[in-house]
Amino acid sequence: MAKRTTTPPEEIAENIVDIDVGLEMQNAFLEYSVSVIHSRALPDVRDGLKPVQRRILYSMSEMGLRPDRGHVKSSRVVGDVMGKYHPHGDTAIYDALVRMAQPFTMRLPLVDGHGNFGSLDDGPAASRYTEARLAPAALVMTASLDEDTVDFVPNYDDQLLQPGVLPAAYPNLLVNGVSGIAVGFATNMAPHNLVEVIGAARHLIAHPDCSLDDLMKFVPGPDLPLGGRIVGLDGIRDAYLTGKGTFRTRATARIEKITPRKSGIVVTELPYLVGPEKVIERMKTLVQGKKLQGISDVKDLTDRKHGLRLVIEVKNGFNPEAVLEQLYRLTPMEDSFGINNVALVDGQPQTLGLKDLLRHYVEFRIDVVRRRTAHRLGKAKDQLHLVEGLLIAILDIDEVIQLIRSSEDTATARSRLMDVFDLSEVQANHILDLQLRRLTKFSRLELEQRRDELQKQIEELEAILGDEKLLHRTVSSELAEVAKKYGTPRRTVLLESAGNPVSAATPLEVSDDPCFVLLSSTGLLARTSNAEPIPAEGPRAKHDAVVGAVRTTARGEVGLVTSRGRMVRISALELPALPPLGGAPSLSGGAPLAAYVDLPRGEEPVGIVSLDPDGPGLALGTAQGVVKRVTADQPKAHDWEIISLRDGDSVVGVGQVVTGDEDLVFVTSDAQLLRFPASSVRPQGRTAGGMAGVRVASGQRVAFFGVVDPRREAVVVTASGSADALPGTQPGAIKATPYAEYPAKGRGTGGVRAHRFLKGEDTLVLAWVGATPARASGAGGVAIELPEATGRRDGSGVQGSSVITGIGAPPA
C-alpha cells in the first residue's frame, strides 16, 4: 500500500475587515427590497405590467404565438421565459401566465388560454396540461416594438435584450388592475372599463388642466370582470384623488319563486375574486353555528351556458329580503376592496391618483408615438433615397449594365457607378445587390409612383413631429380605435348607497298577523297580507273569480275538502302573499293547488275551510243528496276522512256553520232547490255517513250544496244546458234569482223548481247560491258578467256561456 504524502498548506495572508453588522444588514436588506420592488412586485406606471408579465408577453411575441395561430403548451412558454429573461422559477412565471388568461381576474385578458386555467375556487392544471397563445388585446401591447418605440435593456446574463417597458396602446394599469406585495410597499388596483378609461385619457390630452371631477365623468368607478355592484362612491373618489380608498362590492341577487311553495334568493354575480364555494362554505358554517337563520338549502347551479347561478332556498315563515340582508352582512356576498395605487414612476414607487395615472400614461404614449414616427420617417427617407437611385439608373439601364460588366470587381463597379451617375454609396450598393433580371423589371412609372408615395408619407411624418398638437391628436385617434375594437359595455353597477337596511324595517320572520286564504275558480291559492274585508266589487282579471275565502293567520292552517270526503291541511305560511288589497283581490300571482296537495286521479277539490278548533263547524253535501254536519274536533294528521261515502257518491259542496241559524241549500241537476235550517241536522263524528238531505230523482244528482245566511241578501244563480253536449260547445241560459223567493222545506224532501228548461236543455251545468256575486268565471278563468236578479217565475234567464266554473264574490 502506497504511503500517503501530505503537502503543508501555503501560508495564507490574513485580511480581516471589521464591519458593522447592523450596517451590513441594513445595506443587504435595502438591496433586496430594491430588487423586489423593481424586478418582481410592483408594476410600471407606463404599461401597467410587472416584469414577469412583461417578459411573458415579449417572449410569446418573439415565439410568434399570435391569436391567429395555434396554441402551444404553457410549459414551453414558461421554459422560454425562464431560460431567457426571468430566472426566478417556473412557478412564479406560470402563476403570472395563468392570471393574465383568467377572465374573472382581468377585465381584458392578455393571454388566450386553452385548458383548465382555474376558477375562483380551484387552481389551474399544471403547465404541461394547458396551452396558451397571445390574446388579441396583447397585440396592441406589443405593437411597434421593432420601431424603436421603447428602450431595450440586457437580460439577466447580458446575452439578450428585452424591452424595459412595452409600448402599451391602452392604459393597461387602470384597465386590468394589479395586486402585489413588495418590501415596504404594496399595490392593489381595481380593474376599469376600457372605453371609459380611454375616454378620460383622450379628454386629458385635449384638456391637460382638467379637474378630477371632469375625469370622473368618464370614469365613474371600477368595472369588475364579473360584474356585481359597488356600494358607496365616496371611497372611490378618495382613491381617485389621493391614490388610496375603500369601497364595498356586493353580489347581484334577486328574490324569486323557486317552487310554487318556496321563495329563494338567486345570486348571479359575486364580488370581485369571491367564488361560490367560499360563499356556500361560509353559509353552512353560520347555519351550523345558529348565527344565520332562514336558509333551508343552498344549490350551486353554475354552468357554462347560464353562468353563475347560486340558489338559496328560504324557509317558510322568513322574509327573503331580511335573509338577503343577513347574507350581505355575514357572508362574502358583500366584501370590501381597498385601493392602493402604487406604481413605479421612473423607477421610484409612488402613490398616484386617477389624474396622475392617466397623465403618466399619456406622456409615455406621446413619447412612444414620437419615437415611432421618427423611426418611420428615417425608414421612409432611406427608401426614398434608394428609389431615387433606381430612377437614375433605369434611365440609362444599358450603360449601367455595361459599366458593371466591364468592371474588374465590385469595388470598381461601385466606384464607377458613383462617379458616372453621381450616386451615393448606399444607392450604388443597392443597384449592385439587385439581380439583373429584377433590375430590368423596374418600370419608370412604378418607381415614380413609389417615390411620390414616400414623399407624401415623409411630409405627413414630419408634420406630426413638427406639430405637438397634431402629435396629440394622433395619439388620441389611436386610442379611440383601440376602444372601438376592444371595448365592451360596463358590467358593474355603481350605487351611491345600499339604501336603508331591510332588517331595520322588516322582521326576519313573518309575524302571525290575521289574513285571508283565497282559492280561485281555476285552482290558484294565495293569502292576503292583512285581514281587511275582501270587496266583491272592482275590476277582475283572469283567475280572479274567488270561490273560497277563509279567515286565518299567516302562521295558521286551512283545510281542503275533497270530493272523496277527505280533509287535507294546508299551511297559510307556504302560500304566496298578495299585496295589500286596494280593491277586488287579484290571484294572478297565486300558486296552483297541485303544488300543495297531491290528489289521486278522480279526486277533485271542493272547497277550503277553517281548521280553528274553536271555530265554526262544517256542513257537507254529497251528489246523492246526503247532508252531514261535522264536529270541530280534528286529528293531528296531515289528512283524514270527514265522511263515510256510499259507493258512487262524492262530496259536491262544503260550508261553515257559525251560529246554527244558517240555511243548508241543495240544488239538483233537474233544477230543484231545497233549503232547510242547519239546526235540523245534528253534528256527527268524523266516521259517520250523514243523513238524508234532499230527495234526488232517478238519473239526477246534486249540482250544488252550500250554507247560506238568510239574514243577508243572497242570490240563486243557475245555468242550463244539454247533458249530451260537450262543455263549452253550445251556449246555455243563465238565470239569477233572489234567494228570498224560495220557501224553506223540510229535510229529505224534493224542494221547489228553480229553473225552467228551454228547448234542447235538460240539465243544470252550474248552480250557485250565496251572497250577491259581482261576476262569474268562464272557461280558462275569464271573468263573465252575470244578469240582473229577476223573479223566480220570470222566465229562464239570458243566453250566455255554458261553461261556468265559479262565482266571483267571496264570502265576507
> Which residue from 210, 200, 140, 162 is spatially nearest to 368, judged by alpha carbons?
140
DSSP string, 235-281: HHHHHHHHSEEEEEEE-EEEEEEEETTEEEEEEEE-STT--HHHHHH
Give CA–CA dist 775/736, Å, rounded: 11
Written as nine digits, the cell of 520 is 280561485
Burial zone of 311 (CB within 10 Å; 0-12 exposed, 13-18 middle, 19+ buried): middle
- List residues with catalytic annotation: 129
Secondary structure of 638-694 in HEC code, one letter for each residue: CEEECCCCCCCCCEEEEEEECCCCCEEEEEECCCEEEEEEHHHCCEECCCCCCEECC
Q: 186-190: long-range contacts at Cβ-Cβ below 8 A with a sequence spacing of 24 or more?
A: 186/340, 186/342, 187/41, 187/42, 187/43, 187/340, 187/341, 187/342, 187/343, 188/337, 188/338, 188/339, 188/340, 189/339, 189/340, 189/341, 189/343, 190/222, 190/224, 190/272, 190/337, 190/339
DSSP code, position 38: I
Instruction: Confirm if 548 and 519 have CB atoms less than 8 A apart.
Output: yes
Cα(461)–Cα(726) distance, rounded to whole angstroms? 88
CA distance 88 to 95: 12
Decide if 750 contacts 809 (C-beta within 8 A): no
Residues ≥6 apart with Cβ < 8 Å to 356: 243, 350
What is the β-pairing status of strands 229-231 and 493-495? Answer: parallel
Distance CA 742, CA 754 (A): 8
Phi-psi region of 34 (alpha: psi -120 to 50; beta: other; left: phi over 0): alpha
- For residues 35-62, one letter each, b for 16 or more C-beta atoms within 10 angstroms of the residue's C-beta and e for the rest, the string is ebbbebbbbbbbbbbbbbbbbbbbbbbe
Cα 41-45-48 angle, rounded to 5 deg: 65
Please name the residues in contact with 325: beta carbons below 8 A apart, sequence gap of 6 or more. 501, 502, 503
Task: Identify the DSSP state of 792.
Answer: T
- Residues 649-674 as b/e (b if ≥16 CB within 10 A, e otherwise) read bbbbbbbbbeeeebbbbbbbbbbbbb
> Strand pairing partners for 255?
265
